[in-house]
C-alpha cells in the first residue's frame, strides 16, 4: 500500500494515569516542579507548576514490567526500575540489574551513586558516569532477607556514605562505606513487622543526622546519628556501653507487661557505635541512638518524607494504608536528652489528613513534598494534594491528577461528545471532561459515578444523562445523573445540558448502602442541599472536584438492573439512536453464545436472542441506520442480523475468513462497509454489491505487524478514516476515499507506544 510522504501532526490532549501501588513508585524533581511516577509499564510526568493545570503531560515507555521505583538523579535525569530491570532516562540505557523484581531504589546525587535492592536478596551499588552509563561496582548479599526500602546519606563532617536498608526481618541494617566497599556496621531492631520506608534528614546546627524508619507494625522510629568526640576516654565509653546494655535488658523484661500507649513494644536506648573514615582518612566514631517512637497510624506505614528546608522545624510526612497522612514535628516542650548534654523535644502529631478509621482502596502508598516546606503530596494512587497558607499551617486540599488504578476496559462518549465515560478493572467508572481555561481547555475527571464490587468491563451512553455498564457479573446496571453533576457541567463551562426544570427534579446526591452494590438516590434533608463544596455559587466556589470529593460525593443513582444472561457479561453495544442496547456473556456453548437486545426506555427484551455463534461474542455493533447488528466472536466468525419489524433482528449473513479470534468490529459512517479486527494480525474491510445487502465480501485486507485488538471509523477530509489499536499499544490510522468502494487503504500515520 502507498504511504503518504506528508504526515499530519498528532498532539496529546489528555492523559489520565494513576500511580502503581508500590511504595517507591513516585519521585519529585530537585526544583519541585516535576513529578515522575510509575503507571503500569510507563513513567508519567506531571508538571505541578503548569498554570493551565493540564495534569500529566507525557508518558515514557520502555519498561517491559510493572514500574516499581522512580528516583530523580538531577533535574534532567531520572532512574526507574520495574519487576524485571532498570531504566535510566532520558531514555539512554536499559540494564538487567537483578534476577528478580526490584523493590527499592536510592540515589545519592553528590557521589553519583545509585543503589538498587531486589527480591533476589541482594543490594547492588552502581556508579553513574554523568552521561549515559551505569556501572555495577558492588553487590551486597542480604542472606535471604529481602530489601523493602533503601536510603543513602553522607555522615556529618565526612565524605563517608551511610546506607540504611529496611528488611523483611523487621530490622534496619546500617552499612558504611570503607575502603571502596560497604561494610555492615549496625543492626537496628525494635520494629515488629517489615520495614517498608526509610528517610534521612541531613544534619543541621540544631539537629543531628536523623533516620526515620516506618514499618508494617504501624509505628515510626527516629534514630539520631551523631559523631562521638574523640576526647572521650575508652573507660567512659565502655562504661556507657555497659550501662546501656543493662538498661536494655531491664526494659526488655518490662516490655511483655507493657500496657501503655506503646502496647508493649520494646524501646531500646542502646547506643550503637560504629567507625567510619573522616575527611583526612582517619577513623572517626559515630553513634546511633533511638530517639522517638511515633504512634498514630492504624495500619502499615508506607512512606516517610522530610520537609525539604533545613531552616524550618523538622517535619516528617508519613502515609499509611489506613488512608491517612500525618505531619510529625517536635514540640516546644524540652526534656533532657539521653544521648547528649543538650535538650531534645517530644515529637507529636501536628496535622492529620485523609479518611479517619478507613482503608478505602488500600490507603496511601506514598507521600512527597512539593516545595520547600509549603506543600505535601501523596502520589496519585489516591490523587491527593494538600497545601499550607503562610506560617499558620492552615492546610487545604488542592487539585492533582487522577486515573484508573488498573487496565481500562471500556470507553464511551456522551451522545454530543460533551464528556467521556471510562470503566476499568479498578472497579470504577469515571467521567472526564474539558474545562475551559484562559488559554486552552484542560481535561479533568469530573465524576466517579460508579464504584463497584466487581471489575467493570464496558460501558455505553444511553443519552446525555444516562449510561449502562457491565461488570464481571450477570447484570447490566443503568445509572442516571444527579443534580450535582448537571450543575457541575454547567458551572464549569463543560456543557449546558437539559432544562432547569429537569435539573430540579433530579436527586441531589447518591449513597451506597453498607454491604450493597447499588447506588441509591439521596432523600429527605439531602434533597434541600444547595450543592456540593466544589460547585457552590453562594459560597463563591466553582472548581473541579478533588479526589476526596470524587470518591465520596459524585456517585450516580442506579435506576435499573437488566437480567437475562446465564453467565458473566463480556460486551455491550448501543444503537445509533440510543433506543436499543445489546449484551453478550461468557460462553463455551451455542446455548449461551447469544446476543440479547433491550429497549432503553422500558428495559424490556426486543425480539428474540440473536443466535449463531458457538463461543463468546466479543463485540456488538449497530449499523448507523440501526437496521443491522454485527457481531464477532471467539469462534472466528462474524454474523450479520437484519431488522424485521415483527420479529426483531434475524440472521442474514456470516463468514469465517479470519484465522484467529475476532476482537472488534465497526461500521463505516455511511453504513456501506464494516471492518473486523483479529488476532491473526489483519483487519478486513467488508462491502456488499447485493441490493438486499445480504452478500458481503472482503474488499480490502490490512496486514499488520501485531494483532489488532480495537478499531473505530470516522469521516474527515472527504475520506473514511480507520483507527486500529494493536496489541503492543501502537495505534495506526488508515484512510480511503469516500467515493472509492474498492480503493486501497493507505497508512496515514502511526501513533507509537514507545
Tell me if 17 is assigned to some domain.
no
| pLDDT tens figures, 246-299 | 555 545 544 444 444 444 556 667 889 998 877 777 888 999 999 999 999 999
Same domain, 107 and 76: yes
Instruction: For residue 581, tell me if it sits in a domain.
Output: no
Q: Tens digit of pLDDT for each residue in 56-80?
A: 999 988 888 899 999 998 888 888 8
With helix as H, strand as E and coil as C, how does 357-424 read? CCCHHHCCCCCEECCCCCEEECCCCCCCEEEEECCCCEEEECCCCCCCCCCEEEEEECCCCCCEEEEE
Range name among 121-135, 149-163, 255-269, 467-481 with the lowest pLDDT average: 255-269
pLDDT at residue 524 greater than cutoff 50 = no
Any bridge partners for residue 128, and if so which? 134
Among 342, 375, 397, which residue terminates a domain? Answer: 397
Confidence band of 744 (pLDDT split at 50, 70, 90): confident
Q: 322 and 205, same structural domain?
A: yes
Residues of the domain holding 656: 589-599+608-751
Q: Is the pLDDT of residue 225 over 90?
A: yes
pLDDT of residue 526: 47
| pLDDT beyond 50 at 505 | yes
* CATH assignment at residue 634: 2.130.10.10
Q: What is the pLDDT of residues 314-325, one digit of tens each?
A: 899 999 999 889
CB atoms within 10 A of CB 691: 7
Q: Terminal CA-to-CA distance of the chain, rounded, Å?
A: 24
259: in domain: no
Both 636 and 725 in a single domain? yes
Question: Mean of the pLDDT values across residues 478-483?
Answer: 93
DSSP labels for 10-43? Answer: --------PPPSSTB-EEE-TTS-EEEEEETTEE
Q: What is the model's pLDDT at position 132?
A: 64
pLDDT tens figures, 322-374: 988 999 999 865 444 444 444 457 899 988 988 654 445 578 889 999 875 55
State the pLDDT at residue 705. Answer: 95
Structural domain total, the chain: 3
User: If pLDDT is split at 50, 70 and 90, which confidence band does 739 have?
Assistant: confident
Q: Which of 346, 371, 397 is the last residue of a domain?
A: 397
Q: Is residue 692 part of a domain?
A: yes
Measure the CA–CA gap between 123 and 625, rounded to whole angstroms: 63
The answer on pLDDT for 238 being more than 60 is: no
CA–CA distance, 634 with 615 (Å, rounded to integer): 6
Beta-strand ranges (E) seen in 512-661 are 520-521, 535-536, 541-542, 558-562, 569-574, 580-585, 596-599, 617-622, 628-633, 638-644, 648-655
Q: How many Cβ atoms are within 10 Å of 429's Cβ, its own excluded? A: 27
Say yes or no: 323 and 190 in one domain: yes
Q: 568-590: per-residue pLDDT in tens?
A: 999 999 999 999 999 999 999 99
Is residue 239 a part of any domain in this protein?
no
Same domain for 393 and 412, yes or no, is no
Please indicate, yes or no, if residue 21 is contained in any of the structural domains. no
Q: Phi/psi at 36 (nearest 5 deg)? A: -115, 130
Q: What is the pLDDT of residue 733?
A: 96
Whether residues 463 and 497 fall in one domain = yes
Q: Are residues 448 and 507 in the same domain?
A: yes
Query: Can you give the pLDDT at residue 551?
Result: 80
Is the predicted pLDDT of residue 643 greater than 90, yes or no? yes
Residue 277 lies in a domain: no
Residues 369 and 478 both lie in one domain: no
Whether 162 is in a domain gets the answer: yes
Which of 157-161, 501-505, 598-602, 636-640 has the lowest average pLDDT? Answer: 501-505
User: How confident is the model at residue 111, as a pLDDT?
Assistant: 86
Same domain flag for 227 and 120: yes
Give the list of residues 6+ apart from residue 304 with CB closer than 8 angstroms, or none. Answer: 197, 198, 199, 212, 213, 214, 220, 316, 317, 318, 367
Residues 363 and 332 in one domain: yes
pLDDT at 387: 54
**Greater pLDDT, 28 or 538:** 28
9 class by beta-carbon count within 10 Å (0-12 exposed, 13-18 middle, 19+ buried): exposed
Q: How far apart are alpha carbons 447 and 403 in whole angstroms? A: 12
Q: What is the pLDDT of residue 242?
A: 47
Pick the residue with more confidence: 634 or 268? 634
pLDDT of residue 252: 52
Indicate whether 172 and 211 sit together in one domain: yes
pLDDT of 703 above 90: yes
441 and 300 fall within a common domain:
no
Amino acid at each position: 500500500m502507498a504511504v503518504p510522504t506528508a504526515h499530519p501532526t498528532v498532539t496529546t490532549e489528555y492523559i489520565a494515569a494513576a500511580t502503581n501501588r508500590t511504595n517507591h513508585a513516585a519521585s519529585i524533581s530537585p526544583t519541585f516542579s516535576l513529578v515522575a511516577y510509575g503507571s503500569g509499564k510507563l513513567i508519567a510526568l506531571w508538571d505541578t507548576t503548569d498554570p493551565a493545570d493540564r495534569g500529566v503531560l507525557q508518558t515514557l515507555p520502555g519498561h517491559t514490567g510493572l514500574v516499581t521505583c522512580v528516583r530523580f538523579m538531577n533535574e534532567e535525569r531520572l532512574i526507574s526500575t520495574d519487576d524485571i530491570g532498570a531504566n535510566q532516562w532520558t531514555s539512554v540505557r536499559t540494564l538487567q540489574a537483578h534476577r528478580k523484581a526490584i523493590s527499592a531504589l536510592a540515589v545519592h546525587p553528590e557521589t553519583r551513586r545509585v543503589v538498587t535492592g531486589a527480591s533476589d536478596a541482594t543490594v547492588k551499588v552502581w556508579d553513574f558516569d554523568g552521561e549515559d552509563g551505569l556501572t555495577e561496582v558492588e553487590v551486597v548479599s542480604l542472606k535471604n532477607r529481602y530489601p523493602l526500602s533503601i536510603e543513602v546519606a553522607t555522615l556529618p563532617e565526612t565524605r563517608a556514605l551511610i546506607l540504611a536498608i529496611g528488611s523483611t526481618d523487621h530490622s534496619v541494617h546500617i552499612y558504611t562505606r570503607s575502603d571502596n566497599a560497604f561494610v555492615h556496621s549496625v543492626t537496628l531492631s525494635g520494629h515488629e513487622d517489615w520495614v517498608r520506608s526509610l528517610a534521612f534528614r541531613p544534619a543541621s546546627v540544631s539537629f543531628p543526622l536523623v533516620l526515620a524508619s516506618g514499618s508494617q507494625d504501624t509505628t515510626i522510629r527516629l534514630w539520631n546519628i551523631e559523631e562521638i568526640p574523640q576526647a572521650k576516654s575508652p573507660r567512659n565509653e565502655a562504661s556507657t556501653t555497659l550501662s546501656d546494655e543493662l538498661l536494655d535488658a531491664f526494659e526488655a523484661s518490662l516490655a511483655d507487661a507493657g500496657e501503655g500507649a506503646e502496647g508493649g513494644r520494646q524501646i531500646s536506648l542502646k547506643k550503637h557505635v560504629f567507625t567510619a573514615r573522616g575527611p583526612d582518612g582517619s577513623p572517626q566514631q559515630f553513634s546511633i541512638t533511638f530517639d522517638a517512637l511515633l504512634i498514630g497510624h492504624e495500619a502499615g506505614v508506607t512512606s516517610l518524607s522530610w520537609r525539604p528546608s533545613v531552616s524550618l522545624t523538622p517535619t516528617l510526612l508519613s502515609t499509611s494504608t489506613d488512608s491517612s497522612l500525618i505531619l510529625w514535628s517536635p514540640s516546644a516542650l524540652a526534656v533532657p536528652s539521653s544521648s547528649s548534654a543538650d535538650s531534645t523535644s517530644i515529637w507529636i502529631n501536628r496535622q492529620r489528613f485523609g479518611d479517619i478509621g478507613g482503608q478505602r482502596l488500600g490507603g496511601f502508598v506514598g507521600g512527597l513534598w512539593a516545595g520547600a516546606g509549603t506543600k505535601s503530596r501523596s502520589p496519585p494512587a489516591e490523587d491527593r494534594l494538600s497545601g499550607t497558607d503562610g506560617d499558620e499551617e492552615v492546610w487545604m486540599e488542592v487539585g492533582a491528577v487522577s486515573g484508573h488504578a488498573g487496565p481500562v476496559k471500556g470507553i464511551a462518549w456522551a451522545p454530543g461528545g460533551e464528556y467521556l465515560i471510562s470503566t476499568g478493572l479498578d472497579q470504577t467508572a469515571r467521567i472526564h471532561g474539558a474545562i475551559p481555561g484562559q488559554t486552552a481547555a484542560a481535561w479533568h475527571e469530573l465524576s466517579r459515578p460508579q464504584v463497584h464490587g466487581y471489575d467493570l468491563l464496558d460501558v455505553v451512553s444511553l443519552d446525555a444523562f444516562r449510561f449502562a455498564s457491565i461488570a464481571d457479573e450477570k447484570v447490566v446496571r443503568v445509572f442516571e445523573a444527579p443534580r450535582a453533576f448537571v450543575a457541575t457541567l454547567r458551572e464549569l463551562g463543560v456543557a449546558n445540558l437539559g432544562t432547569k426544570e429537569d435539573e430540579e427534579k433530579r436527586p441531589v446526591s447518591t449513597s451506597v448502602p453498607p454491604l450493597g452494590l447499588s447506588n441509591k438516590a439521596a432523600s429527605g434533608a439531602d434533597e434541600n442541599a444547595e450543592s456540593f463544596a466544589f460547585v457552590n455559587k453562594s459560597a463563591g466556589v466553582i472548581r473541579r472536584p478533588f479526589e476526596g470529593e470524587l470518591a465520596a460525593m459524585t456517585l450516580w443513582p442506579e435506576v435499573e438492573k437488566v437480567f437475562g444472561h446465564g453467565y458473566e457479561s463480556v460486551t455491550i453495544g448501543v444503537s445509533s439512536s440510543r433506543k436499543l442496547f445489546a449484551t453478550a456473556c461468557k460462553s463455551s456453548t451455542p446455548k449461551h453464545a447469544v446476543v440479547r437486545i433491550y429497549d432503553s426506555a422500558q428495559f424490556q427484551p426486543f425480539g428474540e436472542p440473536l443466535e449463531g455463534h458457538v463461543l463468546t461474542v466479543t463485540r456488538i455493533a449497530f449499523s448507523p441506520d440501526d437496521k443491522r447488528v454485527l457481531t464477532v466472536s471467539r469462534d472466528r466468525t462474524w454474523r450479520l442480523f437484519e431488522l424485521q419489524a415483527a420479529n426483531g433482528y434475524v440472521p442474514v449473513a456470516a463468514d469465517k475468513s479470519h484465522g484467529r479470534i475476532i476482537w472488534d468490529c465497526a461500521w463505516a459512517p455511511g453504513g456501506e462497509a464494516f471492518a473486523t479486527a483479529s488476532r491473526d494480525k489483519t483487519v478486513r474491510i467488508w462491502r456488499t454489491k447485493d441490493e438486499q445487502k445480504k452478500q458481503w465480501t472482503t474488499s480490502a485486507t490490512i496486514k499488520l505487524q501485531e494483532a489488532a485488538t480495537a478499531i473505530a471509523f470516522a469521516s474527515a477530509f472527504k475520506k473514511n478514516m480507520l483507527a486500529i489499536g494493536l496489541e503492543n499499544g501502537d495505534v495506526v490510522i488508515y484512510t480511503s476515499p469516500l467515493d472509492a468502494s474498492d480503493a486501497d487503504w493507505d497508512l496515514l500515520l502511526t501513533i507509537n507506544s514507545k
